[in-house]
Each structure stands twice: as C-alpha cells, then as structure tokens.
A and B are shown apart, each in its own frame.
Chain A
Amino acid sequence: EAGVTQFPSHSVIEKGQTVTLRCDPISGHDNLYWYRRVMGKEIKFLLHFVKESKQDESGMPNNRFLAERTGGTYSTLKVQPAELEDSGVYFCASSQDPSGAPPYEQYFGPGTRLTVT
C-alpha cells in the first residue's frame, strides 16, 4: 500500500511569489491534515479535511494560505504571496474514519521543505 506522498520535496521561492504544495493521502483515508514545522519549533497543525470539507482550519496562520481538497482525494496548499516567515517543512498526514474506537493514528508524508528568500 502506498503511503502519503507530497510534491515537491523542496521549493525555493522569492518573497512575494506563489507556491503550491500537493499531498496525496493513503488511499481510502477520508481525513487529511496539514502541519508545518518552523526551524526550532514543534510541528504545528494547520488544517484538517474530512473528504472535501474543511473540518478545522484553526491553525492556518493568515489568509495568504489557501487549502483545497477537490473531490476528496488529493489536497493542495497554496501560499500567496509568500513571506520569509513561511519557510519551514510542510507535512501532510492522513487517517481513516475516526468515528470508531481510538487510537486515530495519523500517517505522515515526507514533507515539502519551503524556503522563502
């Protein structure tokens, strides 16, 4: 079974440019999460999709970030315009339906390292 995949693995852009990150979850996983790790900090939640709906976007830093999950399959995270503080590693994770018993484990993709110069 293929794991969570992310594209690109690295992206270097200039301040003010636009970048779009893509995540393909594990097949059959309705839940898709975006996280970010800024250097020296812990991994922090950005948002959560259940199928194509945004379940929780409380972690999105500001309106320069736009996430979509059309058709409930892959997801994109667009940063427009990018700022220096957006640099970090963006992880995507997926999980199955949590309506049953715990543990509700999430499986992570390899991440996209974004550098804004």
Chain B
Amino acid sequence: QKEVEQNSGPLSVPEGAIASLNCTYSDRGSQSFFWYRQYSGKSPELIMFIYSNGDKEDGRFTAQLNKASQYVSLLIRDSQPSDSATYLCAVNQAGTALIFGKGTTLSVSS
C-alpha cells in the first residue's frame, strides 16, 4: 500500500515567521513530489514541485527532498495570513496517479 504521511496540524505560526511542513512517503519508486495548497472549499493549487535531491526555491517557498530518507518538506518564509490553508503533499511516478497525504492545516496569525 503506497502511502503519504503528513501531520494534520494545525500548525500555527505568527506572521513573518517560517512555517515548516513535512511529509514522508512509502514508495521508493516515486519520482516527482508536489506541494498543493488548498483553501477551504477550493481546488488544490500546485505551488511547488521537486524531483531531485536537495532544495528548490521559488520566492518565499523552498521545497526540500531527501530520497534516501523518503522525506519531503516545504518551508514558507515570511509567512502571511493569506498563507493560511491546507497544504497537501503528493507523489507519483511518471504520468501516474498522484498519491496524496491528508494535508497539514497552516494558520498564520497577524
């Protein structure tokens, strides 16, 4: 059974702080790793993807991948109240179905 695990949260951080979201996956054959943001009642929005070990930065977001440890993380710097949402970790192999975690709820207080 291929699984993706995330802490459900809620993760609460003050405005301007760094939010750190973590995810582990069970399938060593996974090739691509995604972070989706989902606001309540809305569809998942792709915000970051990574497929090589190491760090990938895009604006205030940094995705980190460690395939040996089967671990993916998302760092959000200078957190804003608008970042408050559920963050979904998802993995897949080439063109196949995404396997999602249950998501971590982030709350950024002003």
A-B contact count (CB 8 A): 67
CB distance from A7 to the nearest CB of B (A): 14
Q: Which residues of A contact B (CB under 8 A)?
A: 31, 33, 35, 41-45, 48, 50, 56, 59, 91, 93, 95, 97-99, 102-111
User: B60 at the A/B interface (Cβ < 8 Å)?
Assistant: no
A41 to B100, CA, bound (A): 10
Question: Given contacts A104-B92, A105-B49, are A91 and B43 in contact (CB under 8 A)?
Answer: yes
User: Is A104 a contact partner of B43 (Cβ separation < 8 A)?
Assistant: no
Q: Which residues of B contact A (CB under 8 A)?
A: 4, 31-34, 36, 42-46, 49-51, 88, 90, 92, 94-103
User: Is B102 a contact partner of A41 (Cβ separation < 8 A)?
Assistant: yes
Which residues of A sit under 8 angstroms from B96, Cβ to Cβ?
48, 56
Question: Given contacts A42-B100, A102-B32, A103-B49, are A108 and B95 in contact (CB under 8 A)?
Answer: no
User: Is A45 a contact partner of B98 (Cβ separation < 8 A)?
Assistant: yes
Which residues of B sit under 8 angstroms from A109, Cβ to Cβ?
43
User: Is B102 a contact partner of A59 (Cβ separation < 8 A)?
Assistant: no
Q: Of B34, B95, B99, which is within 8 A of A31 by CB?
A: B95
